Amino acid sequence: MLCQDQFETFVPYRVVTQAPCDDERQERLKLVEEGDKTWREVRRDGTCCTGGVATCCCCPCNTLACLTSQEVVTEEIFYISDSMDPPDKPFRKAVSRNPCLLWNWRLLGWLLTYSALHFALPVLDGIFEGLGLARLPTALNMLMLTLVMWATVVAAAYACYRPSMGIKYCVMVAIIIGIPVVYNQMTTTTS
């Protein structure tokens, strides 16, 4: 990366927000600004500033921010390569993921969400009736709602750092909701 003093240097990797229409120069400037931050500035940016009951929710986040700012644990990955590597290569080298374990955790999360939605079924009946989905089996409605919730969370997570991926997941939400609604409308009009 070419910095202010016209020398190439290495900037530690930290997640840096970017706008969808930033050009390469603006992205580099944001990376340099992030790399120039002191540990105190990183700590300040990483902590929640809330009060009251919400402070209890932020306690784990603030603890992690405190530990990383004191260099007890560092969130940075130092990776130097003499070639143009894809951005995810340092992550794959730092944390090798077992695909079976990853999918097991995803399936467990989906199962817990699906089960929790069954407990909220009386509240959700009005939503399904409003969309015209009351005729579909309950299990199918809960599966659709589980996938919509998952895709919405993923879209929100991607929105700041990869807006194009966030838009893709928003389209996925629309498709997941749209297919049963359109199918139900078609079967209602034909019968």
In this structure, which amino acid lies at residue 8?
E
Query: Of 117, 119, 109, 128, whose CA–CA distance to 177 is shortest?
Result: 128
Single out the residue of 142, 153, 147 nearest to residue 117, CA to CA: 142
Find the mean pLDDT for residues 15-20.
69
Model pLDDT, residue 2: 44
Within 16-162, where are the H helices? 24-35, 39-46, 54-69, 89-94, 99-119, 121-130, 138-161
- 54 plus 108 within the same structural domain: no
Report if residue 72 sits inside a domain.
yes
Asked whether the predicted pLDDT for residue 9 surpasses 70, the reply is no
Residue 101 DSSP label: H
**How many distinct structural domains can be found in the chain?**
2
Query: In the predicted model, is pLDDT for residue 69 greater than 60?
Result: no
Tell me: do 71 and 122 sit in the same domain.
Answer: no
The structure's pTM equals 0.48
pLDDT at 73: 46
Q: State the pLDDT at residue 63.
A: 65
Q: Is the domain of 106 the same as that of 180?
A: yes
Last residue within a domain, chosen from 59, 78, 94: 94
As a whole number of angstroms, the distance between CA 188 and CA 182 comes to 10
Encode 79-108: b = buried (16+ Cβ within 10 Å), e = exposed.
eeeeeeeeeeebeeeeeeeeeeeeeeeeee
pLDDT at 98: 76
Average pLDDT for residues 7-16, to the nearest whole number?
A: 56
| Coil, helix or strand at residue 127 | helix
Q: Containing domain of residue 61, as a range?
A: 37-94
Asked whether residue 49 carries a pLDDT value surpassing 80, the answer given is no
pLDDT at 74 over 60: no
Structure tokens at 168: 């893709």
Rounded Cα distance between 154 and 149, Å, is 9
Q: Are residues 151 and 74 in the same domain?
A: no
Mean pLDDT for 68-90 is 61
Mean pLDDT of the chain: 73
Q: What is the pLDDT of residue 8?
A: 53
pLDDT digits (tens, 9 = 90+) for 137-175: 777 878 888 888 888 988 988 888 888 888 999 999 899
In whole angstroms, what is the distance from residue 110 CA to residue 116 CA?
10
Shared domain for 71 and 120, answered yes or no, is no
The answer to whether residue 16 is domain-embedded is no
In a domain, 7, yes or no: no
In terms of average pLDDT, the best of 18-32, 44-58, 142-156 is 142-156
Q: What region does 52 belong to: left with phi over 0, alpha with psi -120 to 50, or beta?
A: left
pLDDT at 178 over 80: yes
